């Protein structure tokens, strides 16, 4: 006697009309299956959970000017949105080398680009920090690239997932490592450094005006989760800062998380290494574009480009930042802080 077919497992129940927890957002996490629902999220100006919307694609393409047969490097492959747009313009005969330090998202992006028709002769993915761009080019047998893009933003796949520890919207470990297999977590960093060093990190990495008060608060007890950090900072600032308003306090929380993320991942050191290596990695007449998202990054890129123009390394460079259009900012709120700078390598 044959057994009746097993019923498929029922979807987990959740309170309200829409799931709030990241893991429960089954429609947003399966965009290929629920396209109409994902379009509703996009139309509302939000980014679907676990996905990344490439920022300023038209402006990036305008200043990079990728052409058929050229070689490009995407220093921060992320979700592959910029890479796909560049790859389409490199054909026929062109090639893109994608770099990313995140071992969780890199295989997914590589698989997506393969599914889009970009084979190994056209696209190669490398698990490496962009500070190692020169070595990556050497491994691929490339002397210098015609086009280089560095989008320094944290991807939505990382920000939205509470297990990665980048957000306090849901309880999660205070981790923040781009590569969860290497280095110390933000919780370990907080436990190791003293109050003065923490205040310095908050000031230098995020321009936080209440760095001393926040540092004293965070060193008062062990902190292992993002929501505990948020609660401690919010409560202390609301109580001890005269005239404190909740929107300003929330900005301080975000700046605190930003500063810790930069420190944990050595982001400024990696950016400085990339800027030093850039002239040798960019072919004569080659174009480079940076997308930055806070003043510490933009300041470094601006000064490097200005020095390069004075020394004759770059033929030209952006004299002012380019920002997203009003239409894009309305459609994608995460584009509001993006700043684009470009430079062109001298031909001699």
pLDDT tens track for 130-162? 999 999 999 999 999 999 999 998 877 777 788
Mean pLDDT across 294-313: 96
Residue 191 makes CB contacts below 8 A (sequence gap 6+) with: 222
Whether residues 150 and 178 fall in one domain = no
Q: Assess whether 147 and 71 both reside in one domain.
A: yes
Q: Is residue 252 part of a domain?
A: yes
Residue 40 lies in a domain: no
Looking at residues 42-67, what average pLDDT do you find?
A: 79
Residue 44, in any domain of the structure: no
**3-state secondary structure labels for all residues of 198-234:** HHHHHHHHHCCCCHHHHHHHHCCCCCCEHHHHHHHHH
User: Which of the listed residues 266, 295, 317 is the one where a domain comes to its end?
Assistant: 266
Q: Which of 204, 238, 266 is the last residue of a domain?
A: 266
Assess whether 198 and 288 both reside in one domain.
no
Does residue 218 register a pLDDT over 50? Answer: yes
203 touches 218 (CB < 8 A)? no
Asked whether residue 26 is assigned to any structural domain, the reply reads no
298-261-76-40 Cα dihedral, nearest 10 degrees: -100
Task: Provide the H-helix boundaries in 116-242.
Answer: 133-139, 156-160, 186-192, 195-206, 211-218, 226-240
343 contacts 292 by C-beta, under 8 angstroms: no
* pLDDT for position 25: 47
pLDDT of residue 244: 93
| 4 in any annotated domain | no
Q: What is the pLDDT of residue 33?
A: 57
The Cα 82–Cα 122 span in angstroms is 15
- Identify whether residues 61 and 129 lie together within a single domain: yes
User: Domain span at residue 135?
Assistant: 57-156+268-345
Q: Where are the beta strands (DSSP E) in the chain?
A: 71-74, 95-100, 123-127, 145-151, 282-292, 314-317, 339-345
Decide which of 218, 245, 266 is a domain's last residue.
266
Cα(265)–Cα(262) distance, rounded to whole angstroms? 5
Q: From CA 29, how far away is CA 41, in angstroms rounded?
A: 12
- CATH number where 206 lies: 1.10.150.170
pLDDT tens digit sequence for 23-46: 554 444 555 555 565 456 555 555
CATH of the domain at 64: 3.40.50.150
Per-residue pLDDT at 265: 95
Total of domains in the chain: 2
Burial state string for 213-248 with b = 16 or more CB within 10 A and e = fewer than 16 = bbbebbbeeebbbbebbbebbbebbeeeeeebeeee
Residue with tokens 């490199």: 90
Residue 30 lies in a domain: no
Average pLDDT for 305-332: 94
């Amino acid at each position: 006697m044959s057994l009746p077919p097993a019923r498929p497992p029922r979807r987990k129940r959740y309170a309200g009309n829409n799931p709030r927890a990241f893991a429960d957002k089954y429609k947003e996490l399966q965009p290929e299956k629920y396209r109409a629902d994902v379009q509703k999220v996009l139309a509302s100006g939000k980014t679907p959970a676990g996905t990344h919307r490439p920022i300023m694609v038209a402006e990036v393409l305008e200043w990079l000017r990728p052409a058929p047969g050229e070689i490009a490097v995407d220093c921060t492959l992320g979700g592959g949105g910029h890479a796909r747009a560049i790859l389409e313009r490199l054909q026929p005969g062109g090639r893109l080398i994608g770099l990313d330090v995140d071992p969780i998202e890199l295989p997914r992006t590589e698989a997506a680009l393969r599914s889009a028709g970009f084979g190994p002769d056209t696209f190669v993915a490398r698990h490496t920090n962009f500070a190692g761009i020169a070595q990556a080019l050497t491994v691929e047998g490339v002397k210098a690239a015609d086009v280089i893009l560095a989008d320094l933003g944290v991807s939505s796949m990382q920000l939205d997932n509470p297990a990665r520890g980048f957000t306090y919207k849901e309880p999660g470990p205070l981790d923040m490592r781009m590569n969860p297999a290497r280095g110390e977590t933000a919780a370990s960093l907080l436990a190791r450094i003293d109050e003065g060093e923490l205040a310095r990190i908050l000031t230098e990495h995020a321009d936080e005006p209440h760095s001393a008060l926040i540092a004293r608060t965070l060193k008062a007890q062990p902190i292992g989760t993002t929501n505990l950090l948020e609660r401690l900072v919010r409560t202390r600032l609301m109580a001890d800062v005269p005239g404190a308003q909740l929107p300003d306090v929330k900005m301080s929380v975000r700046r605190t998380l930003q500063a810790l993320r930069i420190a944990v991942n050595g982001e400024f050191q990696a950016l400085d290494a990339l800027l030093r290596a850039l002239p040798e990695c960019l072919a004569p007449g080659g174009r480079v574009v940076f997308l930055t998202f806070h003043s510490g990054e933009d300041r470094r890129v601006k000064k490097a480009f200005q020095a390069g123009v004075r020394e004759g390394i770059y033929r030209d460079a952006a004299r002012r930042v380019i920002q997203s259009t009003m239409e894009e900012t309305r459609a994608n709120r995460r584009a509001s802080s993006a700043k684009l700078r470009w430079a062109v390598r001298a031909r001699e």
